[in-house]
Chains A and B, each alone.
Chain A
Amino acid sequence: MNTIWALAGVVIKELYRRKDFYVLFVLTALITIATGMVNFFHDPKIVRYVKDICMLLIWVSALLIAIITAARQIPAERESRTIFPLLAKPVTRLQVILGKFLGCWLATGIALVVFYLFFAIVTGSREQHWPWLGYLQAVWLQWAMLAVVVALSLLGSIVSAAPSSTTTICFIAVAGILLVGGHLDTVALHQTQPLQGIFYTIYFLIPHLEWFDLRDRIVYDWGLVDWLDCVLATLYAAAYTGLFLLLTWFGFRRKSLNT
C-alpha cells in the first residue's frame, strides 16, 4: 500500500507543479467575478445566474483536470522511459495502475475542494447563507463521478498511444454521457429495431454519470438528496471504477513498454 501512496504522491505533486489547475482556476474565478459584477436592473440580490455559470465552469474545469491528468500518466512514463526504473524497484504493474489512479483522483479531489470553496465564498457573500451539507453532497458525488472518469481515461491511455487523442475521446464520451446518457431510453422508444436494441444496450451499459450532477439542486436551492441514495450512487461509481481499472490492468499487463 505504501508503494501505491508513494506513486499517488508523485501525481499530486505534478498537479501543483503544472499550470493546468492554476489556469483553469483563474479563468473560473475571473469569469465568475466578472459575471457577478454585472448589474441587472439595479437589483443586487440576483444570484442564481452567477451560481449557474460558476458551477458549469467548475464541472468543465474538473473534467478537464481529471481527464488531462489521467490520460498523460502512463504515456509520459513510457515516453521518458522512467517506467523501466519504476518497474524495477520492484513495483508491480497493478501497483502502478492503482497508484496513478489514486494520485489522479486525489489531485482532482483537492482541485474540487478549492473550486467549491471559491464557489461558497462568492455565492455566500451575495446570498448570506451557506448550505454546507448541500455542497458536501455535491462535492462528494462529483468526486465519485470523477473516479469513473479518471479510471476511464487511464484505460484510454493504455489503448491509445497519444495522450491528446485519449483526452479528446474521453472528453467527448463523458460529455456525451452527461448530456444524452439519461435520455437514451426515451430516444430508443421512438426507434425501430435494430436501432432500438442498440440504443437500449448502450443505455444499460454506460455509467450514468448524470446522476452525480447536483448542479440544479445547488443553483435552485432544492434540498438535500437522501443520504442512502448518495451511498448507493457511490457504490455504483465504485463498481464502474473497479471495472475500468481491471480492464486497464489487463491491458497494461500485456502491453509492451517500448515506444
Chain B
Amino acid sequence: MTKASPYLVLALLLAVCFTLATTLEPRAAVWSRHAKSNNVFGLLFGDGRRMFANEFFTMADVYFHSGYYPSIFDLREEGPKEIVAESHGHSDSQEDEKNEDFLGKPKDWIDRFGRHFRITEHTHLEHSHEREILPWLRLAADMDPQMIQTYTVGAYFMCQHLNQPQEAEAFLREGLRNNPDNYEVLFGLGRIYHDNYHDTNRARNVWQLALTCFMKQPPELQKENKIGFDEITVNLANLERDAGNYADAINWFQAAQKVSPAPDALQQQIDKLRAKMTAPTNAAAALPH
C-alpha cells in the first residue's frame, strides 16, 4: 500500500469539512430557532443570562456615579437606581445626597488612610460623559430583553444628554419588539416624537396607545404603576395645550389629577386653560356693536 501524501489527506479533510458544513448548516439554523437565541449570550447562557442583566444594569449606575458606589459590605437599603430616577426627571435633594453618603466617618486609621486612594466623592456623569453607561445598558438588554428599564433609561440618556434621538428610537423599537404593547416603552417613543422630532400627531397616537396598554393591565398593576399613568396623561395634556386643544388638555389634566402627587398644581393648569377658553368670548362681548 502506497503512503498518501499529507497534502492529499489535508485536502480530503477540508473537502469532508466543507461537505459536512453545507449539510449541517441548515439543521443548525433550525436548532438555533428552537433555542430562540438572537445573540451570543442567549446561545451561551440560555435563560440563565437574565441573572447577569441586573448586574450589568447596576454597572451602568456605578459608571453614572464615576465609581462612587456602595459594595455589598456597605449595608445600605436597596433603593431605586439613580439612573432610573434621573430618567423620570428626579434630581438629588440635599437629603438624598446625605442618604447616599454610605462611607460615613472613617472607622480606624486603615480606613482613613485607604480613603486617600478610593473615590469618596458623590458625583454624576455630565457634559456628554453619560455615554459611558451605554455599553452596560446594551449588555443588560442583550442579557434580559424583558427588562424594560434598560430601554427607557438608555433612550432617555441618548435623547436628553447625548442628542442621539435616532439611536434612542431604534433602542426603544427593539424594546417594543421584545415587549409588545409595553406602555413604558411606548411612552418613551412618544417622548422622542414630541420632544425631538416635534411630530405632535405621532406623539399623540403613541401616547394614547401607551395609555390603552396601561389600562389593559390588571388593576393591582395599574395601582402600583400609577406614576406611569400620571406621566402619560400629563404629557398628553401638555401636548393638547400646546396644540391649542384646550378642552382635551383639561380632560387629560383632570385624568392625571386622580393619581398625581401634586393635584393642586394640575388644578392651576386647568384654571389657566379655562381662563384662556373664556377669554376670546369676553373680548368679543367687549367689542362695540
Interface size on B, residues (CB 8 A): 29
Q: How far is the CB of A96 from chain B (nearest CB, A)?
A: 34
Contacting pair A43 B113 (CB below 8 A): no
Residues of chain A with a CB closer than 8 A to B113's CB: 211, 229, 232
* With A46-B135, A49-B135: A183-B116 Cβ-Cβ less than 8 Å: no
Residues of chain B with a CB closer than 8 A to A46's CB: 131-132, 134-135
Contacting pair B117 A43 (CB below 8 A): no
Q: Is A72 an interface residue (CB 8 A)?
A: no
Residue of A nearest to B120 (CB): A222
Q: Which of A43, A185, A187, A213 has the most CB of B within 10 A?
A: A43
Which of B66, B73, B134 interacts with A40 by CB under 8 Å?
B134
* A contacts with B: majority SS: helix
Q: Is A182 an interface residue (CB 8 A)?
A: yes
Residues of chain B with a CB closer than 8 A to A79's CB: none
Contacting pair A41 B167 (CB below 8 A): yes
Contacting pair B71 A183 (CB below 8 A): yes
Which residues 21-78 of A have a CB within 8 angstroms of B? 38, 40-43, 45-49
* With A40-B138, A45-B131, A48-B63: A216-B119 Cβ-Cβ less than 8 Å: yes
Residues of chain A with a CB closer than 8 A to B107's CB: 185-186, 189
* With A41-B164, A43-B134, A46-B132: A211-B117 Cβ-Cβ less than 8 Å: yes
Which residues 49-99 of B have a CB within 8 angstroms of A? 63, 66-67, 71, 73-75
In the bound assembly, the distance between CA atoms of A226 and B73 in angstroms comes to 27
Kindly state the interface size class of chain A when it binds its partner. 35 or more
Q: Which of A109-117, A148-156, A165-173, A202-210 contacts B (4 or more CB under 8 A)?
A: A202-210
Residues of chain A with a CB closer than 8 A to B117's CB: 141, 211-214, 217, 225, 229, 233
In the bound assembly, the distance between CA atoms of A56 and B132 in angstroms comes to 17
Q: Is B209 an interface residue (CB 8 A)?
A: no
Q: Which residues of A contact B (CB under 8 A)?
A: 38, 40-43, 45-49, 141, 180, 182-183, 185-187, 189-190, 203-204, 208, 210-214, 216-217, 219-222, 225-226, 229, 232-233
* 5 A-B pairs with least C-beta separation: A183-B73, A220-B66, A216-B67, A48-B132, A229-B116
The 25 listed contacts between A and B (C-beta, < 8 Å) are A41-B138, A41-B158, A41-B167, A41-B171, A43-B164, A46-B134, A49-B63, A49-B135, A180-B73, A182-B111, A182-B114, A186-B73, A187-B73, A190-B75, A208-B110, A211-B113, A211-B114, A211-B117, A212-B117, A213-B117, A220-B66, A221-B66, A222-B119, A225-B117, A232-B113
Q: Which residues of B contact A (CB under 8 A)?
A: 63, 66-67, 71, 73-75, 107-108, 110-111, 113-114, 116-119, 128, 131-132, 134-136, 138, 158, 162, 164, 167, 171
